[in-house]
Amino acid sequence: MTDKIALVTGGMGGIGQAICTQLGKAGYTVVSTFMRTGRDEAWLEQMQEQGIKAKAYQCDVCDFEQAQQLVANIKQDLGASVSILVNNAGITKDGTLRKMTYEQWQDVINTNLNSVFNLSKAVVDDMTNAGFGRIINISSINGQKGQFGQTNYSAAKAGMHGFSMALAQEVAKKGVTVNTISPGYIATEMVMAVDENIRNQIIAQIPVGRLGKPEEIASLVDYLASEAAGFITGSNIAINGGQHMK
């Protein structure tokens, strides 16, 4: 694994940081994107303290040209192409459809879904030429079952898996797999900041009786990224404590 590069969009917080840590400890060189200037310094320091080879690039993953340039810069700076792509960048801008603005719709679709196209397009040729690649798309339980006030988010997250199934068929014979992971409620800083009473109501709906851990999502990513997972492609793996089954 030591010569493989893993690119994780939105890798500097919550689930993304856990994924970077897991992949880094597995021996990958980890690359994360960021938007706000200065956010990369603390993240790089944390990675280095754990002995992880890491690099960060400022990139708006919604921008097609920036995504292309990002991947070109990685190849130039690190001397190798991206072998593992984890499309993890995502935002929410909730509201019922009657009140949702066009901007709320467009921003969520751009960040959560269009970015998947942008980055996958940028790496897929190198992966197929190399005869190995892993594209892992981080969706959501709400992309599977829908959620009140999240027509934009649910549509984008469901679209990620449609993308995965179609691309998986295009690249399967080239040694490239494309899969979706759909987490339920995970104990990230954002979720833990929710009022305790509301959080307890959420937990009451989860059969295992707790929130998920970011590390549990990261471990699944690590497996799907490995050569051992070469027979899994076009799948949507739910990791939600039994909250939604189908």
Contact 37, 61 (CB under 8 A): no
Distance CA 194, CA 21 (A): 25
Instruction: Sort residue 88 into left (φ over 0), alpha (ψ -120 to 50) or beta.
Output: alpha
First-last CA distance in the chain: 34
Within 13 Å of residue 26, how many CA atoms lie on the same side as its CB? Answer: 23
CB atoms within 10 A of CB 49: 8
| 57 part of the active site | no
Distance CA 27, CA 92 (A): 32
Contact 89, 10 (CB under 8 A): yes
- Give Cβ neighbours of residue 228 (< 8 Å, ≥ 6 apart): none
Distance CA 59, CA 63 (A): 8
Contact 124, 85 (CB under 8 A): no
Q: How many helices (H) and strands (E) does the chain have?
A: 10, 7
User: Which residue among the candidates 57, 153, 185, 223 is catalytic per the annotation?
Assistant: 153
Task: Return the active site residues.
Answer: 153
